[in-house]
Structure 1
């Protein structure tokens, strides 16, 4: 499990994070039902220093090859990869071309808060700088980032990102002001970012809601990471519910349009029953009327998706693929092969949807 945490990211920046090649396959007519496989995978493709992931993906890296084998074994059409260091488009393109056989003609990535220095003493160690004083915990800007890969066109001009949304601007938040003191009002909520990435699936728009909230651990009695995890998940829940207090990185206010089709993806670092989460954290999404929970599982591990240290925290369900109620769930699973080494402490989770 990784340790994680003015409103102007322009559409031009977001466009730089997307490729725009045309698909090679012939698409069905817009009125034909389309079955697609949507997946999330915290692949642990993070590295200790900036630029190392690009270097590794430029050659033959054993872990990246093992990650690619997992992805290939599951034939995903739309995929969110968590813990993929941000370096512009370089690593995204290298992984697709060198490891995924170029099967994803579309992708989206963007800057995240991890490793971005705040200039404040957020970890209360009496010094400025270092991973604990970044807007999201990280050794360098972009560590533990994320990327969306797609076999269908990404509607670049309609992407929304919430990297800069301030925690104080969430009504009735759990922001621990007593701990942070005078710097509390400067804190960004998202430890990485929250994205709405619309994808055109044969003429119908599917909103991919991507995020990776901080683990609710590695703090003290103030439970600052637990409370942040809770409110990061709440941001997604409120976005799905169309909350008007939200504003994105271009200053556009409001949440998801009423009735829009979506699938929420990502390592939420919150189990419905076990672990260190604030009570009810992931339930904020699971209990929404518009959210379906297919509860993907594996034969030996049930709905757990992460293989953490035993006995604490142990195996947990923290990775989710949650479609909107207007989509038909055909099948779902957690890819958890038995008796084999795995490139990450998380497992790939997929859901087949009829769009």
Structure 2
């Protein structure tokens, strides 16, 4: 239910011949390219000279340093004409990166539901959207690729109540009848590399916080990941995106992540910057700080956490992995300026 397959004209770039065979670098990155209103991201992406946006320049620098072949971007504002995405692609081209193939579709974030989803007696607030958002498309996701994309199966309209064994709390019937599972999107995007298809399972789960004792966001976060358990392709795949659950620390429910790990190889990507960030609340964490991908305040919970993942199917040969988080120097400053999240990459031996 709520399944849509997008191909052909739905792809923002036409299919063409892919680049050469492996190693194949796949990355996920949340570059904080979301703004407070529609059109503001496009404005900031096209500013030049003294008006140029420093944060955007830093995000472009991070991507240029890591040079992914396939890049899933999260927390990126979507617009109907794809102008912001095209402006970002142009900025990356100026930095020497060519992504002739890209895909984006309207996310659930900011999509009006017409109901009072959070029960506060008001309509049309950010919490009343299918996924938190002040306007349609705020905080969406997109795929950039050196290789042809398509088809893409979009599961974003799938209803939360239709997930077997779901943890959805008791909701009013009218809310349960329309409440989608995806806070942003769930896509199964086929990327053809050297003549062979690779499924990119793309998502951006809600943070398991910012709710009440009913733990709606914590339950939804768990179920957004559990969704894939019955939909893992019988073919090579990589699950990527913000999962927003740390296996050892934070407020999430890690049970679905543990079950996913039975089907994938966790390359345990590491960084020197994460390993060095041991102060404040991080000192009480149980997990390895080198694996963290989210750099939040050291003064209060949750501190730094592992939130972003690239997880290849078991059997795929992994050549390397990492989290772009230098401990010091200009590139460390660029990572800090760009986003609280760090880019995560995995190299596959492909084909």
> Shorter-chain-normalised TM-score: which range?
0.7 to 0.9
Q: What's 1:245 paired with?
A: none
CA shift at 1:327, angstroms?
A: 1.1
Separation in 2, partners of 1:94, 1:218: 32
Which residue does 1:291 correspond to in 2?
A: 264
Q: Does 1:116 align with 2:89?
A: no
Q: Where do residues 32-47 of structure 1 align in structure 2 (5 Å cutoff)? A: 34-47=22-35
SS in 2 for 1:195: strand
Which of 223, 229, 239 pairs up with 1:237? 229
What's the secondary structure of 2:227's corresponding residue?
Answer: helix
Equivalent residue, structure 1, for 2:285: none
Cα deviations by residue, 1:261-291 (Å, 9 ceiling, x for unpaired): 01111011100011110242422312x2x31
Q: 1:270, 1:281 within 8 Å by CA — same for their partners in 2?
A: no
Structure 1: 5+ residue stretches without partners: 1-5, 29-33, 241-255
Q: Is the 8 A contact 1:175 1:228 kept in 2?
A: yes
1:306 aligns with 2:294: yes
Structure with a larger share of its residues in helix: 2
1:268 equivalent in structure 2:
243
- State how far apart, in whole Å, the 2-side matches of 1:296 and 1:200 are: 25
Please give the per-residue CA displacement for 1:105-151, whole angstroms capped at 9, x wherever unaligned: 11111010111110111111111111010000000011010111101
| SS of alignment partner, residue 167 of structure 2 | coil
Distance (whole Å) between structure 1 residues aligned to residue 252 and residue 125 of structure 2: 25
Contact 1:68-1:100 at 8 Å conserved across structures: no
What is residue 253 of structure 1 aligned with on the other side? none
2:231 counterpart SS class: helix
What is the 5 A alignment of 1:194-205?
194-205=186-197
What is the CA distance between 1:16 and its match in structure 2?
Answer: 3.2
Kindly tell me: are residues 276 and 75 of structure 1, through their superposed partners in 2, closer, same or farther at Cα, counting changes over 3 Å? Answer: same
Aligned equivalents of 2:273, 2:91: Cα separation in 1:
33
* Paired position in structure 2 for 1:330: 319
Aligned to 2:157: 164
Q: 1:24 to 1:116 in 2, by over 3 A?
A: closer
Match of 1:56? 44
**Residue number among 12, 17, 22 corresponding to 1:18 in the alignment:** 12
Counterpart residue number, 2:286: none
What is the CA–CA distance in structure 2 between the aligned matches of 1:303 and 1:91, rounded to whole Å? Answer: 31
| Root mean square deviation, CA, Å | 1.8
User: 1:21–1:303: structure 2 CA closer, same or farther, 3 Å change rule?
Assistant: same
Tell me the equivalent position of 1:153.
148
- Runs (5+) with no aligned partner, structure 2: 275-289
Q: How far apart are 1:172 and its partner, in Å?
A: 1.4
CA contact (8 A) 2:272 2:327 kept: no
Q: Distance in 2 between matches of 1:197 and 1:148?
A: 9
Check 1:299–1:10 CA distance in 2 against 1; reply closer, same or farther (3 A cut): closer
Is the contact made by 1:65 and 1:99 (CA closer than 8 Å) also made in structure 2? no
Residue 179 of structure 2 is matched in structure 1 by 187
Decide which of 219, 234, 243 is 1:227's aligned counterpart.
Answer: 219
> How big is the shift at 1:225?
0.4
Per-residue deviation, 1:99: 3.2
SS in 2 for 1:211: strand
> Which of 67, 75, 78 is residue 83 of structure 1 equivalent to?
75
The aligned residue for residue 3 of structure 1 is none
> Equivalent residue of 2:311, what SS?
strand
The structure-2 alpha-carbon separation of the partners of 1:8 and 1:354, relative to structure 1 and needing over 3 Å to count, comes to: closer
Equivalent pair of 2:28/2:308 in contact (CA under 8 Å): yes
Aligned partner of residue 255 in structure 2, secondary structure: coil
Query: Aligned to 2:132, which of 137, 148, 152?
Result: 137
Seen in structure 2, the aligned counterparts of structure 1 residues 124 and 50 have a Cα distance that, compared at 3 Å, is: same
